[in-house]
Amino acid sequence: MTEASWTLHPQLDNDTAPLGDLALCRVLSINAADYPWLILVPRRAGVIEIVDLGGDAARLMEEIALASRVLKRVTRCDKLNIVAIGNVVPQLHVHIVARRHDNPLWPKPVWGAAPPPAGDAAAFARLLAAIRDGLGIAAVG
């Protein structure tokens, strides 16, 4: 379970935009017009479940809390949905989705619904910049 041999699952790489790195997690985002959506992926090889992180599990919880606070502040959402499902992508990753009462699927979950339509590129870039600023991270390439 080392960072040196860690790689991002191809599906996550394909579906997301990288924001930057926290101490443990790579922070990603999905360009979803209706749901500001972050994904945290611990940079540890072979990790499938939170319990696989051992002592790093507490760090993951801290980073989930930090990302959640920033996303809630930036989006002024009504509710956050936080989940680590992993049925399609086995690599441990945690979704944090900002929800508003006027979201198209409210109050249903966004998981498993049709792929979200992409939002305006400029608005998405502004959102990512605000989240990076709030997290205190630099962009990764």
CA atoms within 13 A on the CB side of 126: 8
Secondary structure letter of residue 115 according to DSSP: P
Q: What is the model's pLDDT at position 91?
A: 97
Q: What is the model's pLDDT at position 20?
A: 95
Residue ranges, the chain, pLDDT below 50: none
Torsion of CA 66, 71, 76, 79, to 10 degrees: -80
Q: What is the model's pLDDT at position 2?
A: 62
Nearest CA among 123, 30, 127, 23 for reference residue 66: 23
Q: What is the pTM of this model?
A: 0.94
Structure tokens at 25: 């997690």
Helix (H) or strand (E) holding 106: none
Q: What is the model's pLDDT at position 110?
A: 86
Compute the distance between CA of residue 58 and CA of residue 88 in angstroms, rounded to an integer.
Answer: 25
Residue 79, C-beta contacts closer than 8 angstroms, at least 6 positions apart: 98, 99, 100
